[in-house]
Structures are given as structure tokens and as C-alpha cells.
Amino acid sequence: MNAPVSFDQESARKAGRERLVVIGNGMAGCRAVEELLERDPDRYSVTIFGAEPRVNYNRIMLSPVLAGEKTFEEIVINGQDWYEDNAITLVSGDPVEHVDCANRSVISASGRVEPYDRLIFATGSDPFIIPVPGKDLPGVVTFRDLDDVDRMLCAAEKGGDAVVIGGGLLGLEAAHGLSLRGMNVTVIHLMPTLMERQLDEAAGWLLKEELERRGQTILISADTEAILEKDGHVAGVRLKDGREIPADIVVMAVGIRPNVALAKAAGMEVERGIVVDDHMVTSDPAVLAVGECVQHRGACYGLVAPLWEMCRALADGLTDRPSGYQGSVTSTKLKVSGIDLFSAGDFSGSDGSEDIVMRDAARGVYKRVVVQDSKVIGAVLYGDTADGNWYFDLLKKGEDISDIREALIFGQAYASGGALADPNAAVAALSDDAEICGCNGVSKGKVVACIDAGAHSVDAVRSTCKASASCGSCTNLVEGLLAITLGEDVESGPKTMCKCTSFTHSDVRRLILEKELKEIPQVMQELHWTTPDGCSSCRPALNYYLLCAWPGEYVDDQKSRFVNERLHANIQKDGTYSVVPRMWGGLTNPKELRAIADAAEKYQARTVKVTGGQRIDLFGIRKEDLPAIWADLNAAGMVSGHAYGKALRTVKTCVGSEWCRFGTQDSTGLGVKIERMTWGSWMPHKFKIAVSGCPRNCAEATIKDFGVVCVDSGYELHVGGNGGIKVRATDLLCKVETEEEALTTCAAFIQLYREEAHYLERTAPWVERVGLDYVKSRMFDEADAVAKLAARFRISQKYSQIDPWAQRAGGDRKDLHTHIGEVRPLQMEDVL
Amino acid sequence: MIGNWLDIGPVYQIEPGMARTLPVEGGEEIAVFHTMTGDFYALVNKCPHKQGPLSQGIVHGAVVACPLHNWNISLKTGEALGGDEGCVPTIPLKVDAGRIYLLRSAVLGEKPKPEAA
């Protein structure tokens, strides 16, 4: 414990002044005093108590100290001489333990009693420690002060494994520092997006990719169960899913809590923080509070900028020229060298608000500005944060941006550039040899020549001179050139996938393969999506395209699935569901029928109906009962019928040669074999198959997506039929002689449709769009095309023929079927 | 203060981009949403169009697309967006120290008092 610094020679000068005591020698406490001295250096005699045995330093620069980019000396704000020059008494290493408001004095740990006229709480915040077993083990540290940094540096000297719990600002800075110091770092983050309070999904994904590229392991949606011990020291972390990660040091950086214990004990009004008014005065008029420990208008702040604003208001109040603190709009920058990240304001998006998004995949840039009522209300920038402060300024001032709306996203230089504020004017100003498309090396002159030669749409330009045909980031430039060159005559290109992108379905499918895009946020970034997280039409489409492109590798995204595919049942108009177990080829038996009957009674199915697809539909099942009814049906040997999916639905059959006097082949047997081969397959849209045993066609095979009509000499295979809104009879694809050939051709056709159709396009419109000849040429021009397509289908089936009902009945994704709680107002126990 | 708010459990119960339900005995079932940007909202679980369960819709931005007819409903105001008209009641919600709280009176379907929330 250090002796208090005191200056007897000053005592005389200080006599007669009001006594101001500050609890906390951190950034807020000292800044408050600085502001005060600036306004009136002679009014108060100041005593500062600090728990740490050192002078005041810049806590937010601890990260660079950990990373070895700065030394402690470099982050000291006020050295010993500042206290001396301003006649401030610093009591360091001797924390205040008791505040006696009645007698207006504070008492320190060593028993020092200090009377005050005005008291300032600047006690800051404490790291939040998650209450898991092992949290107190040696080797578990927080990231709050210089001692924590020393402990981390000590561990880093020995090398080994570090685990950081918490992927927020502080956690990532700690991870970066430890990684630079040579440790093998794993970050465990509870939420699916890093820094989710500051970043949206798109920026969070970019950040994760970059950190992983730098060698850190990032585990998202990971919940810590326990910290493991060996020989009395921390040895690792176990997650709730059972994974164990070795650790020589564990840094707990999940958040901070205002340090209010002392104020609470002294009788101040305390909620989450010490409650203050606009002049930073607490419930006791002689006592003020400032910094992270306060709660102002319901808000607590953990960033540095609000603290400066609070200190100004506090000093104004203490020198009798009250100004009032109005609360802060905050912005965040991550202090990890080489990663540019900025976020400010409200970027959650709402009805009145509009997102302006710009993505530049080549430079790894994502910019999103949220505008409401012609004002900037939020911004997220990744990769290029040069304009962060400009956006933040527009946001704080609430400036009307309608005049620069078009150019806003390109940044200050562009938007303020007078004539250049019109993006087309900027394109017009480029010289003829300026490069428009970097991927294909196309100059402005070439694009214009190409437009003059008759390419009057983006698509036409892409197919002739290749500009914007690869990554697409110059699409807006090409559009600008079209507008300048043609005026009103620009042809709108083929329909884009949705309003979130300028690409068509086919473009997106092609680019997913070419660029090996494997996650939805990655597709959105690389293909310049103009919305942060897509919409209800592109998300399910992307999910399907990725599932089809990367079987076994892509993890199905439940939040991008329509309700029926997420709950594996069909939603009905009253919000209940219908359940259809699979009946292979339309065959069933007494055991299955009995189980269906029992289930219908047990789960109170209000309607039991035979479907057009030769199976039985149970209506009126509640979402909570689905796993249980599936378990019962599974027990009788039945699996999901996928009656709810953009998937193989059913294979309808007639009885065929086994019973029918006209039957030519075993149509039922072939139908069962086809259904066994194709069930569980996800498709662009629903897919129906039928097998008829003779040309009388009792199974109606010629209005199915794939129909087999048996004849004496073999099997006619038909495609592209539809019995829906617009009835379409099938086209004859080919005729084969054996069941084996029929099966392989069926698999090949399905795979071609899976790989090339647009999402939500049935086979009928697909075949009409591309033409039957195209389908035939893709399947039969090359001798082994059918075999190759069928092989790809079989690979994909390896991963999709897993009964989803059995998985859910076994407890998978329970959250989708259960309520979060129940409210029963009559009992006072509210949520059960 | 806390007495006015109903603690419905930790934030991680709801995956971002998803919603979960809270039935209220004698009242309207509530859907609690967690957006991809990390915000939480609560609405009566009934689309103003044909009473579809909004909790089962696809969430994008601060909007949910109703699973029955794809109406887009604002999670912030409960209003139907685009050309559609209608509004579903919202329930005031706050998140504190990792837990989700709903305004008790709104959960119970009482008319909001002038200074409530």
C-alpha cells in the first residue's frame, strides 16, 4: 500500500476551498477533475482515491499494451507531476471502503477518513464473471486493468493455449494480443455473430473469416459449461455440447457491470448503475457520479466517448454553469491492427428505415448505412472505415442527406464533390481507357463501344464484352454507362433473383460453383447483396443452392427454411400442422394402418384424409405434439413423407403385372424402388413421380414431374408434367429396356433439374424455359452424362436420406417445437 | 420497477433469425423474435391478415414474413408493410443482463397506462 501523496506546503493555499473527493483514479475520475480545473482551478481542494497502486492511465489502450504495440509509459495520461502541479492529493492503492453520507466523509481501507463537501463516484465497472465451475481457478483472468495484462503476458511467455470467453470488443482485442504474443488462441462466443451488439451478420462473418485466416479458432454459438482444472491450475474449457478445449490461460471477457456496491451501501439510488440526473447528480445532492458506473436516463455506457461528454456536464454543474448531459450516441472501432471495423447508431433496420449497402468483394469491403427520414441513423463499415467519422457526424447532427443520398455510400470525398455527387456524372467523367471491369480487364471505351454495337442491357454487355460478368462489383458502373449512352433506352435485363441482388438465379448458381461460395453470408458478400441479411425469397433459395452445390459439406440453415420444411409438417390455416407418413409406392399394411389410426386418436387428428399421392394425411396436429407423433409412427417403421417440402413427394403406382390383367411390368415394384432411391432429396420445388403398368396409365404418370409408362418392350420415361394451376402433359424423354436403366435415368434427370432449375421452378416451366432438346442434349450427347449425373445424385442422397422425423423425435432442435414458457396469470408463478 | 416486467429467460433461448412462442392463459399467444442483428421484439402471434402464426415466419431485417401468405410484418410496430394493411399488437420488451423481459400489463392484454413502459 502506498503512502498518500500529500503536500503540506499546499495545505495553507487550499484552506477555505470546498473539499472535493473523487472515488476512482481511472479515466472518468481524472477527466472530471481536468475539466473542473480548466473551468475554475481555485475552487476545490481535490483528493482522489484509487484502488490500483499507480497513476492514471488510458484504460482503452491496454489492448495495444497487450499486443506489444505500446508500453505502459506511453498510455499514462496523468503522471505524478500532474497531481503535484495541481495540488491534488492522490491516495493510490488504498480504496475507499465506506461512504458516510450523513457526516459527509469517506473512509478508506487503511482507516483514512476524508471529509468532503462534494463527492464524485467514478468507480467504473467490473468484469462480469460467468458463474461456471472453475471460474476461480488460478489462470482464469479478466481483461480490465494492468495487472490483468501482466498476468496474460506472463502466461504468454510460456506459450501454449489460450481460451478467450467472449467474442465482443474486449474479448477479440485480448485474443489478438495473445495471438501476437505467440499463443494458440481459441475464442468462445455464445452468440452466432461476433460483436453482435456492434455488427450485423454480414460484417460479423467477414471479421470471423479474417481472424480465422490469422490463425485464431473462433467457436460461435458456443456455451461454456465448466472451466477444467489440472494440478490446481486451469487446464481447459468444456462446452455444453461436450467439446473440450485445452487452455493454459482463460480470459473471461463476456462483459462489464457498473461497480455500484459502494454507492448502494451508502444509500444512493441504484438500479443497473448509480442513477444520475442530467448534471450527473445522484439521489444525494452532494454526491455526483460519472463514467461507466452511472445510469443516465436508463442507459449505462461502456465506451469512452460518453464519458468525456458526462465529465463536461459534471464540471459545468460543479462550477455553477449547468449545461446538462443529453445522453450519447456511441460508435465503436475495434483496435485490432489491420482490421478496419466501425459501427455506430441504430443499424437494426425498421420500416421507415432504408439500408444502403455496398460490398466490394475484391477489397473485402462491406459498408452499410441506415437512413430514416432522410437522416443517417446507423452505420456498419468493414474493410474501409475512412468515412466512419463522417457518417457518425451526419448521424449526431441529424443532417438532412437527401441531396447526397445517391452518393452517400461512396463516402465523403465522393458525396461532397459537387457535380460528382451524381454517380453517373462521375462515370461520365472517366477517361475512355479507365478500367471498368478489373476481373476481365475491360475499359470504359470498350464497354461504350459494346453498348453502341447493340448491347442495351447489363446482361447483353456481360455476354459480349464480359464487363461485370465475373464478380459483378462493377455492375453499377456498367449500369451508369448504359444510362449515359442510351438515356431512356436501357433494356431491363432478365429478372434478378430478388430485390437484394442484381444477379439472376442462373448467375448466382454459376458463381456459387465458380467462386466456391459455401455459406449464405459469403454469397451475399461476394455477390454484393444490397441488403444486410437478404429477404424471405432469397434466403431459402440460397440455402437450397448451397445444399445442392456442396452435399455433405453445407450445413442446412434452419432460419432460411420456410416453416413447413423447418417443422417437417404442413402448416394449416389455423396454425396446426398435417402429418403424412411415407407409404412406399402407395403400399401399406395392417401394422402401419393400425399405428396411423392410433396416432390419429392419440393426437386428436380432426381430419384423416387419403391424399392424391396414395397416402394418409392427419390434420390438426399441434406443433408441440409433432416429435411425439413422429416417434409413434417411427416405431411402426414409417418415416417422413416430405409432403411439406420442396422435395421428392411421392411415387404413385398402379398394381401392375402382379395383379392386373393388363399389366405389362411390375409397376408397383419399380415405384417402390424409385421411391427408395429418391426419398429425402431436396429440390428446387416439389417433385412428383408415378409409374403406370400399362398405357392405360392408371397412375396418371403423364402429369408428373417424372413419369414411367410400362410397355411390353420396356419403359417409356416422361418428364415435365404438371397437374397444378396450368395442366401440362409430359414430354417423352426416352425409352429404356430395363428397370436398372429406368432408375438411373430417373436419378440423372432429377439431378439435372436439381442443379440447373431456379428455386421454386417446377419441372414443367423449367422444361419449357430451357427446351426439351436442351434437356436431352445435357443427358444424352455425351455417352456417360447420365451415369455422371446419376452418380452425383447418389452422392447427394447419401447425406439427405436421414429421416428428419427420427432426428426430431430423438430430441434434435427441441427449441423449434416447444414454447419458451407459459403465462398463467391466475397463479402468481408467471413463467413456468 | 422489476415487478412491471416479466422475466422470460435468457437471450440464448432464441437463435438469431428465429422466434419462439409464449402462450398466455386466457390471453393471446406471444411470439418473441431475435433478429439477425441481435435485437429482440415481441408481438401477438397472429398475422393481421388471416391470423397466421408469425413466430413461424422467415425473419429478415426487423421484419417477419408470415408463413401463411407471406405478408411482411414490422417487428418494431406490428404493422403490415408494402401494400398490405393491418396491425398486430406489440409487447414492450427489454433485455437486461442477458435476460429478456416483457411488460407484464401488455402480456396480460391490459390497455397500456399513459406512462407505462
Q: What is the CATH number of the domain that holds A574?
A: 3.90.480.10
- HEC profile for A801-813? CCCHHHHHHCCCC
At A485 the pLDDT is 85
Task: Quote the pLDDT of residue B60.
Answer: 92
Asked which of A238-242, A648-652, A755-759 is least confident by mean pLDDT, the reply is: A238-242
> pLDDT tens digits for A582-623?
999 999 999 999 999 999 999 999 999 999 999 999 999 999
Specify whether A549 is located in the same domain as A610.
no
Question: How far is the C-alpha of A485 from the C-alpha of A262, rounded, in Å?
Answer: 71
Strands A161-165 and A184-188: parallel
Of the two residues A801 and A831, the one the predictor is more confident about is A801
Residue of B nearest to A200 (CA): B37
> Residue B47: closest CA among chain A residues belongs to which residue?
A575
3-class secondary structure per residue, A160-210 = CEEEEECCCHHHHHHHHHHHHCCCEEEEECCCCCCCCCCCCHHHHHHHHHH
Q: What is the pLDDT of residue A825?
A: 65
Contact B38 A825 (CB under 8 A): no
Interval A314-320 mean pLDDT: 92
Nearest residue on chain B to A562, alpha-carbon basis? B58
The pLDDT confidence band at residue A201, using thresholds 50, 70 and 90, is confident
Q: What's residue A783's pLDDT?
A: 93
Residue that is last in its domain, among A363, A391, A421: A421
Provide the number of structural domains found in chain A. Answer: 6
Give the per-residue pLDDT at A348: 67
User: Which residues form the domain of A601?
Assistant: 563-645
Confidence band (pLDDT; 50, 70, 90) for B116?
very low
Question: Is B116 part of any domain?
Answer: no
A791, A665: one domain: yes
- Rounded distance, CA A614 to CA A629, Å? 20
In a domain, A230, yes or no: yes
Tell me the CB-side half-sphere exposure of residue A704, using CA atoms within 13 A.
28
- Inform me whether the pLDDT recorded for B8 exceeds 60: yes
Beta-carbon contacts of A516 under 8 Å, excluding residues fewer than 6 positions away, are none
Per the CB < 8 A criterion, the answer to whether A288 and A314 are in contact is: yes
| pLDDT given for residue A470 in this prediction | 63
Of residues A575, A623, A821, nearest to B8 (C-beta): A821
Q: Looking at CA atoms only, how far is residue A201 from chain B in angstroms? A: 6
**CA distance linking residue A291 with residue A281, whole number of Å:** 12
- Model confidence at A345, in pLDDT bands (50, 70, 90)? confident
CB contact under 8 A, B38 and A193: yes
* Residue that is written with C-alpha cell 479478466 in the block: A142
User: pLDDT higher for A396 or A317?
Assistant: A317
Question: Does residue A418 or residue B73 have the better pLDDT?
Answer: B73
Q: Tell me the percentage of chain A whose pLDDT exceeds 70.
A: 94
Question: Does residue A211 sit in the same domain as residue A178?
Answer: yes
- The answer, yes or no, to whether residue A830 has pLDDT greater than 70, is no
Domain containing B82 — which CATH number? 2.102.10.10
Q: Are residues A624 and A746 in the same domain?
A: no
What percent of chain A is modeled with pLDDT above 90? 57
Within an 8 Å CB–CB cutoff, is residue A825 touching chain B? yes
Angle, alpha carbons A145-A148-A153 (nearest 5°)? 130
pLDDT of residue A100: 94
- Domain of B21? 2-107
- Closest chain B CA to residue A566: B56
Residues A63 and A97 in one domain: yes
Neighbours of B37 (CB within 10 A): 25
- Mean pLDDT on A213-230: 92
Nearest C-alpha in B relative to A299 = B96
Residue B1: is its pLDDT beyond 60? no
The alpha carbon of residue B73 is apart from the nearest alpha carbon of chain A, in Å, by: 9
Partnered with residue A711 across adjacent β-strands are A714
How close A567 gets to chain B, by Cα (Å)? 9
Least confident of A426-440, A720-734, A783-797: A426-440
For cell 494458440, the residue is A184
How near does any CA of chain A get to the CA of B115, in Å?
Answer: 15
Calpha distance A402→A640 (Å, rounded): 54
CB atoms within 10 A of CB A712: 8
A233, A254, A275 - which closes a domain: A254
- Distance set, CA A548 to CA A226, A526, A674, A758, A794 (Å): 38, 19, 20, 12, 12
A 549-588 → B contacts, CB under 8 A: 558-564, 566-567, 571, 573-575
Q: How far apart, in whole angstroms, are the C-alpha atoms of residue A639 and residue A680?
A: 10
> Does A167 lie in the same domain as A118?
no
Mean pLDDT of A364-389: 87
pLDDT at residue A417 in the model? 56
Closest CA of chain A from B44, distance in Å: 14
Cα–Cα distance measured from residue A225 to residue A234, given in angstroms and rounded to the nearest whole number: 14
Residues of A in contact with B17 (CB under 8 A): 533, 559-560
Residue A3 has pLDDT above 50, yes or no: no
Query: Would an 8 Å CB–CB cutoff place B95 in contact with chain A?
Result: no
Question: Which of B13, B36, B58 is closest, CB to CB, to A200?
Answer: B36
* Contact across the interface for B37 and A822, Cβ inside 8 Å: no
Q: Do A200 and B37 count as a contact with CB atoms less than 8 A apart?
A: yes
Domain boundary among A421, A444, A466: A421
Separation between Cα atoms, residue A696 and residue A145, nearest integer Å: 84
Do A438 and A556 lie in one domain? The reply is: yes
Residue B117 lies in a domain: no
Spatial distance between the Cα atoms of B71 and B82, rounded to a whole number of angstroms: 8
Residue of A nearest to B57 (CA): A563
For A303-309, what is the mean pLDDT?
Answer: 83
**Cβ contact (<8 Å) for A201 and B62?**
no
Residue A787 confidence (pLDDT) above 60: yes
pLDDT tens digits for range A446-499: 899 988 888 888 878 877 787 876 666 677 788 888 888 887 666 666 678 888
The pLDDT tens digits for A164-189 are 999 988 899 999 999 988 999 999 99
**A270 part of a folded domain:** yes
pLDDT band of residue A832 (cuts 50, 70, 90) is very low
Query: Does residue A819 form part of some domain?
Result: no
Domain count, chain B: 1
Decide if A122 contacts A32 (C-beta within 8 A). yes
In a domain, A826, yes or no: no
Residue A824 lies in a domain: no
pLDDT bracket for residue A350 (50, 70, 90): low
Is residue B39 in a domain? Answer: yes
A731 lies in the same domain as A769: yes
Asked whether residue A788 is domain-assigned, the answer is yes
B68 to chain A, any CB pair closer than 8 A? The answer is yes
Confidence grade of residue A780 (pLDDT, cut at 50, 70, 90): very high
**pLDDT at residue A647, rounded to an integer:** 97
Instruction: Work out how many CB contacts closer than 8 A connect A with B.
Output: 153
* Domain match, A346 and A363 both: yes
In this prediction, residue A698 carries a pLDDT of 94
State the pLDDT at residue A460: 81
A192 in contact with B, Cβ within 8 Å: yes
Cβ–Cβ below 8 Å for B23 and A820: no
Look up the CATH number of the domain holding residue A759.
Answer: 3.30.413.10
Closest residue in A to B21 (Cα) is A819
**Cβ of A831 and B65 within 8 Å?**
no
Is residue A325 in a domain?
Answer: no
Please tell me the predicted confidence (pLDDT) of residue A438: 67
Asked, for residue B113, whether it belongs to a domain, the answer is no
User: Does B105 or A803 have the greater pLDDT score?
Assistant: A803
Check whether residue A673 and residue A758 sit in a common domain.
yes
Task: Choose the closest CB to A824 out of B25, B50, B81.
Answer: B25
Q: Is residue B10 part of a domain?
A: yes
Chain A, 342-361: which have a CB under 8 Å from a chain B CB?
A: 347-351, 355
Q: Are A183 and A225 part of one and the same domain?
A: yes
CB within 8 Å: B20 and A819: yes
Name the residue of chain B whose CA is nearest to A821's CA.
Answer: B22
Taking CB atoms and an 8 Å cutoff, what residues of chain B touch A536? 57-58, 60, 65, 70, 72
Specify if A443 maps to a domain: yes
Residues A208 and A271 reside in one and the same domain: no
**The predicted structure's pLDDT at residue A472:** 64
- Which contiguous run of DSSP H or E holds residue A617? strand A616-621
On average, the pLDDT of chain A sits at 89
Q: Look at residue A403 and tell me whether its pLDDT is greater than 90.
A: no
Does B37 reside within a domain?
yes
pLDDT band at A388 (very low <50, low <70, confident <90, very high): confident
Band (A829; pLDDT cuts 50, 70, 90): very low
Chain B partners of A191 at a C-beta cutoff of 8 Å?
12, 16, 38
Q: Is residue B13 part of a domain?
A: yes
Q: How far is B113 from chain A (nearest CA, A)?
A: 19
